[in-house]
């Protein structure tokens, strides 16, 4: 199968619509990461997503809709705080989990009685979703456990020859996946941290919890239980630049090609060693993280992370992705 990379010109949107209506899978740009979309109402199309990704059958998918789409039919009620959050943050990088009305394929929610809904702000995503005018089930467009894709080329690297079309909207400006928020309880509860932070949600809803999985418990959001975002090279995780320098020098002596992933301040302390600069702010680090992980896996024999010092806000999401990419317990 030829994998075409197109923009949002008429012909591209028409092709995307025809593919979706035929039960095929189409990758598309969003402001967070690229998605791998299919008709959420179709059992066959949704199962195709799981097969392509090699995704565990108990990890539910997010349904994506355009900004004017009426989600009332997809969900079974909405608490007042969720309506306020929707008005404040959508379209944007916030996924809201509602009681499901059971209108989409049962394979979307993997047996849960809830449905995750997202309205991406990316003009490419909006053009695609408006054209099809259907709920589109879409996980991140990477092979399961691999680093999420933030360019069309990343999607191509994982799926060329396997999917017919990628709608290219350029590099993703958000860079980490959306915040997933459980809106089925008394107060909203974050299941996956992201660009819409706990502080931002609490400012609108008055309160916001963060879900932490307890040992032995069945996770509320199955995706958070899996190893994720892993670069395909050896990795090491260090708490300080000094520790990273020692690990780097040892690998170099062995004849390897080590590389250090760190925030700008740490890079200065590492004097001449090969560094990938995450930047200074939480937003910069979110935007750069996955692209740097994908770059490093193709060139480095050992990728060494230095834990960033920044805390709070978007850093919660960045740290969650970094720890999981490097296999460090939270």
Binding positions for Mg ion, rule: CB under 5 A: 140
Taking residue 136's Cβ as centre, other Cβ atoms within 10 Å add up to 27
**Between 138 and 200, whose beta carbon lies closer to ligand TXA?**
138
Q: Pick what 149 binds: Mg ion, ligand TXA, none; C-beta below 5 to 8 Å, kind-dependent.
A: none
Applying CB under 6 A, does 140 fall inside the site for ligand TXA?
yes
Q: Pick from 42, 105, 126, 221: which binds ligand TXA (CB under 6 A)?
A: 221
**Between 62 and 241, whose beta carbon lies closer to ligand TXA?**
62
Contact 103, 41 (CB under 8 A): yes
Q: Pick what 256 binds: Mg ion, ligand TXA, none; C-beta below 5 to 8 Å, kind-dependent.
A: none
**Least Å from the CB of residue 286 to ligand TXA:** 11
**Between 178 and 238, whose beta carbon lies closer to ligand TXA?**
178
**Least Å from the CB of residue 117 to Mg ion:** 16
**From CA 98, how far away is CA 78, in angstroms rounded?**
7
Q: Pick what 105 binds: ligand TXA, Mg ion, none; C-beta below 5 to 8 Å, kind-dependent.
A: none
SS3 per-residue string spanning the chain: CCCEEECCCHHHHHHHHHHHHCCCCEEECCCCCCEEEEECCCHHHHHHHHHHHCCCCCCCCEEECCCCCCHHHCECCCCHHHHHHHHHHCCCCEEEEEEECCCCCHHHHCCCCEEEEECCCCHHHHHHHHHHCCCEECCECCCCCECCCCCHHHHHHHHCCCCCEEECCCCCCCCCCCEEEECCCCCCEEEECCCCCHHHHHHHHCCCEECCCCCCCCCCCHHHHCCCCECCCEEEEECCHHHHHHHHHHHHHCCCCEEEEECHHHHHHCCCCCEEECCCCHHHHHHHHHHHHHHHHHHCCEEEEECCCCCCCCHHHHHHHHHHHCCCCC
Applying CB under 6 A, does 178 fall inside the site for ligand TXA?
yes
Binding mask 28-47 for ligand TXA (x = CB under 6 A): --x-xx-x------------
**Least Å from the CB of residue 38 to Mg ion:** 15
Applying CB under 6 A, does 109 fall inside the site for ligand TXA?
yes
Q: Pick from 91, 149, 169, 223: which binds ligand TXA (CB under 6 A)?
A: 223
**Between 95 and 140, whose beta carbon lies closer to Mg ion?**
140
**Least Å from the CB of residue 301 to ligand TXA:** 28
Q: Which stretch binds ligand TXA (CB under 6 A): 3-11, 136-144, 252-260, 278-286?
A: 136-144
- Looking up tokens 């709920």 gives 135
Contact 275, 292 (CB under 8 A): no
**Between 169 and 194, whose beta carbon lies closer to Mg ion?**
194
**Least Å from the CB of residue 147 to Mg ion:** 10
Taking residue 239's Cβ as centre, other Cβ atoms within 10 Å add up to 11
Q: Pick from 114, 124, 126, 320: which binds ligand TXA (CB under 6 A)?
A: 114
**From CA 35, how far away is CA 38, in angstroms rounded?**
10
Binding mask 70-99 for ligand TXA (x = CB under 6 A): -------------------------x-x--
Q: Which stretch binds ligand TXA (CB under 6 A): 11-19, 217-225, 247-255, 284-292?
A: 217-225
Applying CB under 6 A, does 139 fall inside the site for ligand TXA?
yes
Crossing angle of helices 282-299/152-159, nearest 10°?
A: 40
Residues in touch with ligand TXA (CB under 6 A): 30, 32-33, 35, 59-62, 95, 97, 109, 112, 114-116, 118, 120, 138-140, 177-178, 180, 191-192, 221-224
């Amino acid at each position: 199968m030829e994998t075409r990379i197109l923009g949002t010109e008429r012909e591209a949107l028409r092709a995307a619509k025809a593919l979706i209506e035929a039960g095929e899978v189409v990758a598309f740009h969003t402001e967070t990461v690229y998605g791998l979309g299919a008709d959420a109402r179709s059992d066959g199309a949704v199962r195709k997503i799981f097969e392509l990704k090699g995704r565990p059958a108990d990890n539910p998918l997010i349904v994506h809709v355009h900004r004017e789409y009426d989600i009332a039919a997809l969900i079974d009620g909405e608490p007042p705080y969720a309506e306020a959050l929707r008005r404040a943050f959508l379209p944007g990088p916030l996924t809201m989990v509602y009681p499901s009305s059971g209108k989409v394929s049962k394979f979307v929610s993997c047996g849960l009685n809830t449905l995750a809904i997202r309205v991406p702000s990316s003009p490419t995503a909006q053009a695609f979703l408006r054209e099809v005018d259907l709920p589109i089930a879409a996980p991140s467009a990477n092979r399961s456990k691999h680093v999420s894709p933030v360019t069309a080329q990343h999607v191509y690297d994982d799926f060329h020859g396997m999917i017919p079309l990628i709608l290219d909207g350029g590099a993703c400006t958000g860079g980490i996946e959306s915040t997933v928020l459980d809106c089925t309880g008394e107060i909203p509860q974050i299941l996956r941290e992201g660009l819409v932070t706990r502080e931002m949600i609490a400012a609108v809803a008055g309160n916001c919890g963060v879900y932490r999985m307890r040992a032995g418990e069945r996770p509320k959001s199955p995706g958070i239980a899996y190893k994720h975002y892993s670069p395909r090279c050896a990795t090491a995780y260090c708490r300080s630049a000094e520790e990273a320098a020692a690990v780097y020098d040892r690998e170099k002596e062995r004849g390897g090609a080590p590389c250090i992933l760190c925030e700008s301040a740490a890079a200065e302390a590492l004097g001449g060693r090969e560094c990938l600069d995450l930047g200074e702010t939480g937003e910069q680090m979110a935007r750069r993280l996955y692209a740097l992980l994908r770059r490093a896996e193709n060139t480095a024999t050992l990728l060494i992370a230095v834990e960033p010092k920044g805390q709070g806000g978007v850093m919660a999401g960045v740290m969650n992705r970094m720890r999981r990419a490097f296999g460090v317990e939270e």
